Structure 1
Amino acid sequence: MRLCAAPPFAPDTPCTDESRWRPHDLLRLARLAPVPDEPTWVPEAFARAPFAVVRRARAAPGFVAAGLRGGTRAERFGTWVNADDIESSVSPESLLAIAPSPERAALAAFVALASLREAPGPLRDFVWGPTGSAGFELATQVHTPTESSDLDLLIRMPRRSDAATIAALAATLARAAQHAGTRVDAQLETPAGGVALAELAQWTSGKARVLARASDGARLVADPW
């Protein structure tokens, strides 16, 4: 997040990981309480699409760390939502069942996603789905990706995968990216946290550690499983 609000709870409040919602889930909110020093674009963006994405941070009971997005890449704001204001949630994998509107389907991010939906190979063995701007549009029906937008994915990988599988995943995404003329970036959800597919591929080739992003911060780990 480019900016982040101060937590609405005392620094010494015991915090936990909320199990009902996971990082990258999109939350539809009944309301968004204003916070001090929030960017001026936040109210308008929330009125346009009353959704926030779950981010990786622990929170006091009754709160969820979430992020809001505006109309540009620079408009990102980390905040905290009240769990009682959450009306529903959408996971990345559930968005695979939703198609973009016909007039938007030719955007590179959606072309790449359509290619991956039909791709043979290792991706079919995992639970996965779109995040980022493509996922946001599929969940909210608000135009979000542009002609130059990348496709971001989340791939759930709770168990160890071998080097051949990781390489095959990377090759599958590279083919979809080339076909669509855009970038396809994937984050793997491992027991240690979120790990970039590109970095994990280097790890399987001998890199000593990988960067894993967890709710208590990012850290280098020798083994994400």
Structure 2
Amino acid sequence: MKSLPCRPHDLLFVRLPDRFDTGGAWPGWLDAAWLMQAPLVVRREAAPGSLLPVGARGLTRSQRCKGYVQRDAVARCVTPEMLARLHLRAVRSDECQSVLPPLRALAAMAPRLKDLGLAWGPTGGAGFYLASGLPVLHADSDLDLLVRAPETLPAWIIDRLLRLQDQQACRVDIQVDTGLGGFALNEYARGGRLLLKTAHGPVLVADPWRMTDAQREAA
């Protein structure tokens, strides 16, 4: 795993759960048995050396814990794009039937997102559930999606994504990752400056694909 470039939203299954370092005691809901089945989520933060910034999550929204893990403690990395491919195969074979609105929305959107030629995948609770099978999704859960876009997205793609997310059975939150950072699609669509989340902190930018030297320093 040392050479694997883990990115924000990737899910890491660890073989050495005791190497998850929070800088203090673990919360009561978290233990080694949970971390043997529940992946850690890579956070957007600059970390020194072989440390990876990660977060643990439990079964409820209030159960979140930030920390770090050494790369050599990671057994497997699951990316949002990998989950998208697995889900698309399930959709094609009619194995993806669910009463949960986030999974129904994902099944409806997946073929259309593939047709747009984008690198994308589910994150948040849906991604965590698809990767682990743990029951973290509920009827009122949102669907979080990540779109990788190292180059400026054309207006027609933005429009198509906005219409797709507005036509679903649950709230859909699309985050766009430019490589420099990540931003919310809805915020970009409103126009004006927006918040770009970078590894060194959030920065207000006019164009999330073009950061000035001053903005880089501020981040």
Q: How does 1:1-225 map to 2 (within 5 A)?
A: 20-33=5-18, 35=22, 36-43=24-31, 46-47=34-35, 49-99=37-87, 105-119=98-112, 124-175=116-167, 177=168, 180=169, 182-203=170-191, 207=192, 209-225=193-209
* 8 A contact 1:45–1:71 mirrored in 2: no
Report the CA distance between 1:122 and its aligned residue.
8.3
Q: Which SS does the other structure have where 1:98 is aligned?
A: helix
8 Å CA contact retained: 1:95, 1:138: yes
- Aligned to 1:42, what secondary structure does the other structure show? coil
Of all paired residues, the percent bearing the same amino acid is 36
In 1, Cα distance between equivalents of 2:194 and 2:185:
10
- In 1, the alpha carbon distance for the partners of 2:29 and 2:120 equals 31
3-state SS of 2:116 partner? helix
SS at match of 1:125: coil
TM-score by length of 1: 0.81
Q: Give the aligned partner of residue 216 of structure 2.
A: none
- 2:83 touches 2:127 (CA, 8 Å); kept in 1? yes
**Alpha-carbon distance between aligned partners in 2 of 1:65 and 1:95, rounded to the nearest angstrom:** 21
- In the superposition, relative to structure 1, how do residues 103 and 221 fare at CA in structure 2: closer, same or farther (>3 Å)? closer
Kindly state the Cα deviation for residue 71 of structure 1 after the two structures are TM-superposed: 1.3
TM-superposed CA distance for 1:186, in Å, is 0.6
Quote the RMSD (CA, aligned, Å): 2.3
Give the gaps of 5 or more residues in structure 1. 1-17
SS of residue matched to 2:145 = strand
Find the aligned partners of 1:57 and 1:140 in 2 and give their Cα distance.
24
Distance verdict in 2 for CA 1:127–1:103, change over 3 Å: closer
Residue 40 of structure 1 aligns with an amino acid whose one-letter code is G
**What is the one-letter code of the residue matched to 2:61?**
R
Instruction: Quote the Cα distance in structure 2 between the aligned partners of 1:27 and 1:19.
Output: 11
CA distance in 1, matches of 2:77, 2:124: 15
Q: What's the CA shift string for 1:62-117, capped at 9, x where partnerless?
A: 11000100111011111101111001101001102334796972210000000001
3-state secondary structure, aligned to 2:105 = helix
1:45 and 1:70 in contact (8 A); partners too: no
Query: What's the CA shift for 1:164?
Result: 3.0
- Tell me, what secondary structure is at the counterpart of 2:16? coil
